[in-house]
Structure 1
Amino acid sequence: MNYKINLLLTTFLMADFFCLAQSNDMVIEDFEPSYINQPGHEYPMVNSQGRVRTKIFAPDAKYVKLDIGGVKYDMVKDEEGMWTGVSDPQDIGFHYYQLNIDGASVPDPGAMLFFGACRWGSGIEIPSNDQVIFAVKNVPHGHVHEIRFPSKSSQKTLRAFVYTPPGYEKEISKRYPVLYLQHGYCENETSWPNQGHANFIMDNLIAEGKAKPFIVVMAYGMTNEIEFGRLRDFDILPFQSVLVNDLIPYIDSNFRTLANQENRAMAGLSMGGFETRLISLNRTDLFSYLGLFSGGVYRPGDFKEYETLKLVFISCGSKENPEWVKKAVNELKNAGYHAVSYISDGTAHEFHTWRRSLYQFAQLLFK
């Protein structure tokens, strides 16, 4: 009798566990259109679990997959030729994705386009409880200027985006510090103003009195001109030459800058952080504020010849290498440097980590 009761109890417990496991995997039907969809498009959608659902009409296709976060999800076709697919929960923040139709990877026609993963493709935003940091608020707004500057170093005319803070056009006698802000591998100069929302982050910080007004320059770092897997072969000198000999002089000549090391900062995400590290150590006379967002670390020995270093900021997501970042910053502090670490909770090597990093870094600059 006891054996039968125990067996029955075990069966009920296993059934309860199975149902619980199933319920945890169930898709909650509270999907809403992504706010960065193409105008008039209902899909893609996002639900409260962070799942992405998309649809595409492809009646002649043999198969369609939703490709996001390094995983491809099979989509299902209905009788009319409409394919529907749902992803697993994604981290909060911005993600690149695409659709794979019979082997061809293409953008989702319902989503806005962003340059990332070495292509123009679709983007999706998984809502977070702190996206207010880059929300478009009823505050004074700066301007993002698209510029073309002559580059003798590359023998080309190159493009950059320049953020000027609110009031720049009116206060014609005022000069401003400058942050040179770099994108990552397989991205370009559009990445920080588009998916990074750098201008709105700055607008909101300035309006709240949390950051000093300064100019932000976002240029192409020439990082995509080397194949993935051979990043160790990347030569910093071509971009360093463009930055030092062409871009900085152009910005100082055409914008009202405080053109000295004390009022100049450089930071970057991922490979842009790698560039920041290399250039800052090659040219210790250029920048007084340095930021690496998921882009490696500095060590105390790096700064033996750095005379006017005011801040070292190192960050990453909690799903990356936070202990490595904390250790490096503690070593810098113990050596007498002004160093700050920041760990983005619940994120990995992705744009929400870097938006949060800019938000934190900007509040420490030029004060």
Structure 2
Amino acid sequence: MKTSTTTRGFLLALCTSLAASLTMAQAPQRIPTPNDTLKSPKVLDDKRAMIQIYAPKASEVMVGGDFIAGGKPLSLTKNDQGVWSVVTAPLKPDYYTYTLMVDGVRTMDPKNPTIKQGISSLENVMAVPGTETAFEDNKAVPHGEVREVWYQSNTLGMARRLHVYTPPGYEKGNTKYPIFYLLHGAGDDDSGWNTVGRAGFILDNLIAAGKAKPMVVVMPNGSMPMPPSTGMPDANMMNRMRSLFADEFLKEIMPTVEKTYRVLPNRENRALAGLSMGGFQTLDVSLTRPELFDYVGVFSSGFFGATIDEAETKYAKALNDPSFNKNKKLFWVSIGKDDFVMDANKKTLALLDKHQIKYQYQETSGGHTWVNWRQYLNQYVPMLFK
């Protein structure tokens, strides 16, 4: 009997389908787990947050984050289904970072895809909604754009990245804008201010409300490549990193950005600010090259460690320049009363006072956290380019 090609094809397909069905029938079926429907974090009606993770074989789970008063990690409790959970105290509406520790191993919350990236670590981010976060929320206003920009650094001999915010309407016009250089802290990279710092949304909202002038904001990577080492960097390493950043900033970042974007490259239209390490870098650059910036902001910072002892000599020219105050439209310093760098901050202010350098000082509640730094940015930006 002759079998047509079509019939043979049909029989082959039928056999293949039957074989696949038999294989699937014999394969062990996946057993559902509580992880399938688990949600974390969950913000409750009273603004407490529940953080959970499915880890049935774990013996200890803890969580640390910037929402915890005193910084001591919270212990999670395990139920009979293998789900560990903890409920925080009521939280003020804001954006918070946290990290889980499962049997001593730093672990991301697998149910929360929102993260903050650092140079060697990740953290989860959770939002506690409320009217208090309006200044930093993604609102229905005209939005600028944030670009990831790569450039070749001759100073460091490698490709480097920075983030650049351009205001609404930048692409459609030929207007030149003031420029604001915004520096992150130690452990972070150029993405910090754009992610957990929410700088783009803060600028959008201020500009839309008429509280700030449209501006270009440059967020560079202030973390310099370091040789392999253990422990905290010593004074020599701190000085090397300071000098390396200053060269990178002045010789690479500023020329690259000011040649690429439509900005007003003069002191009256330049601002510089940074948090923690970025505040230290801001002090260094603004006192070394005071002619470049009319607006300076220092968030939760100062001259750290031995750098305060040499500051009076290193920055003598600027500190003793009678025209320094006249040429600064704003020198703004802000810190939380519980910040662990308060001592460095006070010593730095004492040095400025000794040389009659004028500044505006603000001491807020809280400590060394993004909760404060976003607020400081929201306060600082409206004072620029007046």
1:205-244 alignment, distance < 5 Å: 205-222=206-223, 225=226, 229-230=232-233, 232=235, 233-234=237-238, 235-244=241-250
Q: State which of 290, 299, 316 in structure 2 corresponds to 1:293.
A: 299
TM-score (norm 1): 0.79
Q: Distance in 2 between matches of 1:84 and 1:207?
A: 41
**1:91 shift after superposition:** 6.5
Stretch of structure 1 that moved more, 195-204 or 107-116: 107-116
The letter of the residue matching 1:254 is: T
Stretch of structure 1 that moved more, 190-199 or 217-226: 217-226
**1:334 shift after superposition:** 11
Q: Distance in 1 between matches of 2:79 and 2:225?
A: 40
Q: State which of 334, 340, 348 in structure 1 corresponds to 2:360.
A: 340
Aligned to 1:168: 170
Aligned to 1:75: 76
Residue 292 of structure 2 is aligned to residue 282 of structure 1: no
Q: State which of 310, 327, 351 in structure 1 corresponds to 2:329.
A: 310
Q: State which of 241, 258, 265 in structure 1 corresponds to 2:271.
A: 265
- 1:118·1:224 contact (CA, 8 Å) conserved in 2? no
**1:116 shift after superposition:** 4.3
- In structure 2, relative to structure 1, the CA distance for the partners of 1:335 and 1:282 (3 Å cut) is closer
Deviations, residues 332-360 of structure 1 (Å, cap 9, x unaligned): 699474x323333x422111211111111
The letter of the residue matching 1:310 is: K
Q: Distance in 2 between matches of 1:167 and 1:347?
A: 37
Q: Distance in 1 between matches of 2:212 and 2:280?
A: 25
Residue 41 of structure 2 is aligned to residue 44 of structure 1: yes
1:51-66 alignment, distance < 5 Å: 51-66=48-63
- 2:274·2:297 contact (CA, 8 Å) conserved in 1? yes
Q: Distance in 1 between matches of 2:119 and 2:81?
A: 32
- 1:223·1:271 contact (CA, 8 Å) conserved in 2? no
2:282 match: secondary structure: helix
The letter of the residue matching 2:219 is: M
Note the residue ranges of structure 1 that are not aligned, 5 or more in a row: 1-39
Note the residue ranges of structure 2 that are not aligned, 5 or more in a row: 1-36, 304-310
**1:62 shift after superposition:** 2.1
- 1:179·1:215 contact (CA, 8 Å) conserved in 2? yes
- 1:60·1:81 contact (CA, 8 Å) conserved in 2? yes
The letter of the residue matching 1:154 is: L
Residue 122 of structure 2 is aligned to residue 120 of structure 1: yes
Stretch of structure 1 that moved more, 273-282 or 63-72: 63-72
2:172 match: secondary structure: coil
- In structure 2, relative to structure 1, the CA distance for the partners of 1:328 and 1:63 (3 Å cut) is closer
- 1:145·1:162 contact (CA, 8 Å) conserved in 2? yes
- In structure 2, relative to structure 1, the CA distance for the partners of 1:357 and 1:148 (3 Å cut) is same
Deviations, residues 172-204 of structure 1 (Å, cap 9, x unaligned): 2x1111111000111111110101111111111
Q: Distance in 2 between matches of 1:200 and 1:228?
A: 37
Q: RMSD value over aligned CA atoms?
A: 3.2
TM-score (norm 2): 0.75
Whose radius of gyration is greater, 1 or 2?
A: 2
Deviations, residues 262-311 of structure 1 (Å, cap 9, x unaligned): 21111001111011001111222321110001112899975433363221
Stretch of structure 1 that moved more, 78-87 or 149-158: 78-87
- Give identity over the alignment, percent: 33
- In structure 2, relative to structure 1, the CA distance for the partners of 1:289 and 1:118 (3 Å cut) is same
Stretch of structure 1 that moved more, 348-357 or 63-72: 63-72
Aligned to 2:14: none
The letter of the residue matching 2:264 is: L
Paired residue total: 325
Aligned to 1:86: 87
- In structure 2, relative to structure 1, the CA distance for the partners of 1:41 and 1:215 (3 Å cut) is farther
Aligned to 2:101: 100
Q: Distance in 2 between matches of 1:79 and 1:342?
A: 50
- 2:179·2:215 contact (CA, 8 Å) conserved in 1? yes
Aligned to 1:19: none
Q: Distance in 2 between matches of 1:49 and 1:269?
A: 32
Q: Distance in 2 between matches of 1:92 and 1:224?
A: 36
- 1:176·1:258 contact (CA, 8 Å) conserved in 2? yes
